[in-house]
A and B are shown apart, each in its own frame.
Chain A
Amino acid sequence: MVVAVVALALQRNLFAVVVLSGVYSFLMASVLVALDAVDVAMTEASVGAGISTALLLGALYLCGADHTKPLHRPLVPLAVSLATGAVLVYGLLGLPEFSDPQAPIHRHVAPRYLEDAVRETGVPNVVTAVLASYRGYDTLGETTVVFTAGVGVIALLRRRRGEKAGR
């Protein structure tokens, strides 16, 4: 992953950047599988590596550009990202230890979901039970967000075509 990230940062060929970000997504999916988050890994592999790579390649084709100009002053962005990274790492120090069973997140509602989900919903995959049943409102909201994004893209790109036809 580190290799992919460094190559991404140094690469000026946009085609290679798109392909490398697909590679990065696949590696991220493997990491998520290793962390036992199979549902998230599946989403990452299909959305991050699949669809978004295809869409980015499409965008690249539309722009007709395959090289970016080297940035004039990479120092300011570098400083900003280093500062953000430092703040995030500082925040990490305050978190409970990795996979600590006594961490607050594992003691709030998670035990109830794990113990009662199969009995209450009859669905052995607790992730699905939580997403669709316990957090039904959240998922409805998410679906609405996806819907809104789609409608937004339709509205934006449709209008351009309409203007062209009107001329």
Chain B
Amino acid sequence: MRHYLVLRVIAKLVIPFMLLFALYVQFHGDFGPGGGFQAGVIIAAALIFYAIVFGLPTARRVVPDRVVETMVAAGVLLYAGVGLAGLALGGNYLDYFVLAADPVHGQHRGIFWVEVGVAITVSGVMLKIFYLFAGRRRADDEA
């Protein structure tokens, strides 16, 4: 894919907008369609597109494996952490009403962080699976 100039230019133009759209889907999920899962998948899709056009090593330099693996676990921990925060503030597990002085505001805050957790895990897992799939042939060649 190194030589497709048009593809490279278009990819450079489009990927920032894909990431921006993912953020829109993430943070506007309260008001319109979308949410953490969709946003996570769109982020992963943008990065996979980048990896396909510019090559896996470049993508691995931009988003290293260590970061991706951390994301896989960090999202679930964030979600579970929101639940524990509810416990710590005197509510039930995953009780958002106690997260802020105003219950409705607390709900908002809880949903926001939970969705962030979902997005992080989903994009991490998708990206990791792609990395592992795409990196296989290289590993076989080296062996």
Q: Which residues of A contact B (CB under 8 A)?
A: 38-39, 41-43, 46-47, 50-51, 54-55, 58-59, 61-62, 119-125, 127-129, 131-133, 136-137, 139-140, 142-144, 146-147, 149-151, 153-154, 157-158, 160-161, 164-165, 167
- B42, B137, B140: which contacts A46 (Cβ < 8 A)? B42
B32 to chain A, nearest CB (A): 6
Cross-chain contact B115 with A128 (CB below 8 angstroms): yes
Cross-chain contact B41 with A43 (CB below 8 angstroms): yes
Q: Which residues of B contact A (CB under 8 A)?
A: 25, 29-38, 41-42, 44-45, 48, 52, 69, 72-73, 75-76, 79-80, 83, 94, 96, 103-105, 107-108, 110-111, 114-115, 117-118, 121-122, 124-126, 128-130, 132-134, 136-137, 139-140, 143
Interface of A, secondary structure class, is: helix
The residues of B that contact A119 with a CB separation of less than 8 Å are 104
- The 11 sampled A-B contact pairs (Cβ below 8 Å) are A42-B25, A42-B38, A51-B45, A58-B133, A125-B35, A127-B35, A128-B111, A129-B111, A139-B114, A140-B80, A143-B76
Cross-chain contact A127 with B33 (CB below 8 angstroms): yes
Compute how far the CA of A145 lies from the CA of B24 in the bound complex, rounded to whole angstroms: 25
The residues of B that contact A129 with a CB separation of less than 8 Å are 107, 111
The residues of A that contact B110 with a CB separation of less than 8 Å are 132-133, 136
**Known A-B contacts A46-B45, A128-B111; A146 and B130 likewise in contact (beta carbons under 8 Å):** no
B54 to chain A, nearest CB (A): 15
Cross-chain contact B118 with A143 (CB below 8 angstroms): yes
Cross-chain contact B76 with A147 (CB below 8 angstroms): yes
B112 to chain A, nearest CB (A): 9
A61 to chain B, nearest CB (A): 7
A50 to chain B, nearest CB (A): 5
- B77 nearest in chain A by CB position: A147
Compute how far the CA of A119 lies from the CA of B126 in the bound complex, rounded to whole angstroms: 35
